[in-house]
Amino acid sequence: MEIDFFASDISQKPCDIALAALDYARKRHHDVLIVDTAGRLAINAAMMEEIQQLHAALNPIETLFVVDAMTGQDAVNTAKAFGEALPLSGIILTKLDGDARGGAALSVRQITGKPIKFVGVSEKPNGLEAFHPERMASRVLGMGDVLSLIEDVHREINQAEAEKLAKKIKSGHGFDLNDFKMQIVQMRKMGGMSALMDKLPAQLGQAAASAKMDDRAINRTEGIINSMTMQERSHPELIKASRKRRIAAGAGVQVMHVNQLLSQFEQTQKMMKMFSKGGIGKLMRGMKGMLPGKR
């Protein structure tokens, strides 16, 4: 994703910066210009006057109020002040990739009377998603957001690689540490383990938390695999004591962590064999310990 930006410095007035940025965007035939004003957690008369002047000078098509999902009453008070000062057209709810469920959205929507249009689920340029009321309701009630999780899978998972892996397993050539690493990379593209758990129903999320599955463990797992040779990744059975010590030193971990990874891989490998033989029932019963970071 390519995003242009307009440079400025602290000596310039906000209104002058915004107007210059608008001229810059027009000359380069950009479709959209986003003017992000300074954040305000408390109501400041001078800053509110400044933003009203900006709005009058720019006459924007959309005036969106950005709400931090992790704030409480402060967000409601600020939303009320902004709603009175500006003709808001909508709301963006951010930080939904954290622990917050987004209950503040209900209050802000009621106070401003404006629709929630987008939600922020990461700090990446593609971390802005359209808002779905029914999914937010499920999230607030602890029912998870499985539909969004499915969409993440379709968007981020490489279909060609997935089919290649399926054919490899079905042919009997086996599931090796290169494949194991690929699954970790795909999980990271989806926001990591924390983002995955956040979209599961509360009971499953709590079970995952109790199993201590976390992103740090996943990063460590990838680091250990990166410290292996290609031969070791393809033939994990070659990894004995001396190789384990070398791999641990290269990854900056203890030998016990290498042993944990190999144990997790063996369990995952068994699950893949069951899957290739159509043993779905056995697969579901044996999933404990399958994901990296569970210990």
Query: Is 158 in a helix, a strand, or coil?
Result: coil
12, two tokens = 């310039």
pLDDT higher than 70, residue 107: yes
Q: What is the pLDDT, as a whole number, of residue 104?
A: 64
Rounded Cα distance, 226 and 53, in Å:
54
- pTM here is 0.48
Q: What is the pLDDT of residue 87?
A: 92
Angle 239-278-157 from CA coordinates, rounded to 5°: 70
Distances from the Cα of 86 to the Cα of 36, 48, 55, 56, 82, angstroms: 15, 9, 8, 10, 6
pLDDT, one tens digit per residue, over 189-216 is 666 555 555 555 544 444 444 444 466 7
Q: How many CB atoms lie within 10 A of CB 293?
A: 23
The burial of 48, by beta-carbon neighbours within 10 Å (0-12 exposed, 13-18 middle, 19 or more buried), is given as: middle
* Backbone torsion region of residue 13, taken as left when φ is above 0, otherwise alpha when ψ lies between -120 and 50, otherwise beta: beta
- DSSP bridge pairs for 120: 128
157-188 per-position pLDDT tens digit:
555 665 665 666 555 456 788 888 877 777 66
CA distances from 102 to 138, 146, 180, 278 (A): 11, 16, 34, 40
Would you call 27 helix, strand, or coil by DSSP?
Answer: helix
Higher pLDDT, 60 or 151: 60
DSSP code of residue 122: S
Residue 252's DSSP bridge partners are none
- All structural domains of the chain, each given as residue ranges with its CATH number in brackets, are 14-141 (3.40.50.300), 154-285 (1.10.260.30)
Determine the 3-state secondary structure of 228 from DSSP.
Answer: coil
Percentage of residues of the chain with pLDDT beyond 70 = 61
Q: Give dist(CA 120, CA 223) in Å, integer.
A: 29
227-252: per-residue pLDDT in tens? 999 999 989 999 999 999 999 999 99
For residue 144, CA distances in Å to 132, 147, 200, 207 come to 13, 9, 5, 13
The residue among 68, 112, 72, 124 whose CA lies nearest residue 92 is: 68
- Within 10 A of 135 (CB to CB), how many other CB atoms are there? 19
- Distance between terminal CA atoms of the chain? 37
> Parallel, antiparallel, or unpaired for β 116-120 and 90-94?
parallel
Closest CA to 88 of 68, 66, 119: 66
Report the SS3 class of residue 187: helix
Looking at residue 83, its pLDDT comes to 86
